[in-house]
């Protein structure tokens, strides 16, 4: 199995981080005991700017979950179509040649799901196998690649796509002044990305997927996720996330590699989810890496923030198009997310 194409797309509204912080301070100035806490928090985010689904003044009047979800469907379909088209073109696969599509998002819901609506918009095959995924959050970019690989392993002459659409700005809860939500409002952004995975009988010069592994950590449900009410999604984000990365990631990667007869020193390229500065620092420490080893992840975080499941795919796109390793190089693509869990993918370029 190989990753044959990667593409991304974003809403048309992009704002510098300073402007976004100023807007939040203006909205919360009478409710936060000290609005300057947003400046102090933002100093640690390492984010220059983010895309938003709607112009910034829209969010001042976003009061209902249904209102936000309608925008999620509209904008999600728009940028999802663009990202999937770009990945398909890169892979040399026509829309009606796609045999399966996995669509992941944790920032909205729809029935019929987005994959069905995209099939109508894009002329996908009437026989396409559709697998909408909800609830995996940040880990879903890596997990979706693994599930697409599972599919084409069984159908080696076919192509499957993973599409991630995350519009995190639409989960803003203006009456939630918890530290978790303040961090979320300063860190997460909007966008979409797609990959096309092909079976062994399809030609491609993309990286080969050698193995995948899922790891679920027992009794960690409150580490990350959503509480869902009549107002929509309310962030669950424990300060223990970096410690969880430190505690588990290194051993999980070593065990995964050992199962393939490899060691950590055999891996020369790392495609890691941009969970935030503390998570990236914990990732480097857990794996014994230097900051330059995660340069693509840091650059993605700086440019657009954390886009949940989309982020690791944006890092993959950057490596795929701009930082491609020498042939034969081994990479680990990985993400962690709600569960709490990790997903590991071993690639050979």
Q: What is the pTM of this model?
A: 0.95
Number of structural domains (the chain) is 2
Q: In whole angstroms, how large is the CA radius of gyration of the chain? A: 19
User: Residue 2 in contact with residue 209, Cβ under 8 Å?
Assistant: yes
Residue ending a domain, among 163, 198, 233, is 198
pLDDT of residue 86: 98
CA distance 32 to 278: 24
CATH of the domain at 17: 3.40.47.10
Could you tell me if 97 and 55 lie in one domain? yes
Query: Tens of pLDDT along 138-152?
Result: 999 999 999 999 999
Is residue 203 in a domain?
no
Residue 138: active-site member: yes
Q: Is residue 262, in this structure, part of any structural domain at all?
A: yes
Confidence band of 211 (pLDDT split at 50, 70, 90): very high
What pLDDT digit, counting tens, does each position of 235-272 carry? 888 888 999 999 999 999 999 999 999 999 999 999 99
146 is a domain residue: yes
- pLDDT band per the 50, 70, 90 thresholds, residue 176: confident
The verdict on residue 261 lying in a domain is: yes
User: Could you say which of 138, 168, 300, 341 is catalytic?
Assistant: 138
pLDDT-based confidence at 278, cuts 50/70/90?
Answer: very high
Establish if 117 belongs to a structural domain.
yes
Residues 143, 254 share a domain: no
Is the domain of 189 the same as that of 232?
no
Do residues 81 and 121 share a domain? yes
Query: Considering the domain boundaries, does residue 317 fall inside one?
Result: yes
Residues 33 and 145 in one domain: yes
Q: Is residue 143 domain-resident? A: yes
Give the separation between CA 200 and CA 198, rounded to whole angstroms. 7
Of 176, 198, 220, the one marking the end of a domain is 198
Same domain, 312 and 191: no
pLDDT one-digit tens code per residue, 49-67: 999 999 999 998 898 899 9
Outline where DSSP puts E strands in the chain. Answer: 2-9, 13-16, 49-52, 100-104, 129-133, 159-167, 190-198, 208-216, 224-229, 232-237, 267-272, 330-337, 341-348
pLDDT in tens, 109-133: 999 999 999 998 999 999 999 999 9
Same domain, yes or no: 34 and 138: yes
Q: Residue 239's domain spans which residues? A: 208-348
What is the mean predicted confidence (pLDDT) over 201-224? Answer: 93
**Same domain assignment for residues 115 and 90:** yes
Q: What is the pLDDT of residue 27?
A: 83
- Residue ending a domain, among 198, 233, 266, is 198
Residues 194 and 305 in one domain: no
Check whether residue 61 and residue 191 sit in a common domain: yes
250 belongs to a structural domain = yes
φ and ψ at residue 36, rounded to 5 degrees: -65, -10
Mean pLDDT of the region 103-112: 96
User: Do residues 156 and 218 share a domain?
Assistant: no
Cβ atoms within 10 Å, residue 189: 29
Q: What is the pLDDT of residue 239?
A: 87
Please tell me whether residues 234 and 252 are part of one structural domain.
yes
Task: Find the mean pLDDT for residues 263-287.
Answer: 95
């Amino acid at each position: 199995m190989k990753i044959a194409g990667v593409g991304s797309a974003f809403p048309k509204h992009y704002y510098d981080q300073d402007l976004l912080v100023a807007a939040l301070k203006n909205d919360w100035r009478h409710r936060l005991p000290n609005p300057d806490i947003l400046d102090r928090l933002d100093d640690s985010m390492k984010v220059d700017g983010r895309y938003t689904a709607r112009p910034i003044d829209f969010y001042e009047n976003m009061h209902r979950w249904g209102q936000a979800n309608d925008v999620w469907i509209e904008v999600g379909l728009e940028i999802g179509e663009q990202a999937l088209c770009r990945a398909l073109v890169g892979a040399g696969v026509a829309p009606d040649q796609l045999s399966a599509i996995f669509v992941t998002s944790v920032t909205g819901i729809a029935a019929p799901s987005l994959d069905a609506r995209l099939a109508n918009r894009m002329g996908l095959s009437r026989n396409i196998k559709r697998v909408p995924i909800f609830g995996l959050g940040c880990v879903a970019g890596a997990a979706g690649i693994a599930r697409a690989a599972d599919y084409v392993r069984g159908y080696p002459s076919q192509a499957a796509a993973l599409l991630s659409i995350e519009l995190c700005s639409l989960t803003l809860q203006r009456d939630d002044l918890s530290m978790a939500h303040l961090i979320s409002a300063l860190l997460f952004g909007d966008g979409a990305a797609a990959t096309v995975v092909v079976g062994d009988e399809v030609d491609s010069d993309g990286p080969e997927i050698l193995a995948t592994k899922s790891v679920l950590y027992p009794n960690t449900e409150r580490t990350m996720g959503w509480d869902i009410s009549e107002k929509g999604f309310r962030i669950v984000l424990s300060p223990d996330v970096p410690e969880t990365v430190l505690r588990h990631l290194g051993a999980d990667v070593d065990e995964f590699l050992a199962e393939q007869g490899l060691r950590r020193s055999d891996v020369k390229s790392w495609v890691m989810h941009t969970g935030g500065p503390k998570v990236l620092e914990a990732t480097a420490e857990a794996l014994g890496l230097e900051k330059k080893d995660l340069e693509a992840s840091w650059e993605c975080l700086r440019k657009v923030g954390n886009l949940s499941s989309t982020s690791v795919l944006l890092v993959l796109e950057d490596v795929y198009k701009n930082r491609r390793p020498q042939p034969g190089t081994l990479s680990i693509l990985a993400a962690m997310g709600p569960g709490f869990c990790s997903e590991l993918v071993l690639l050979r370029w």
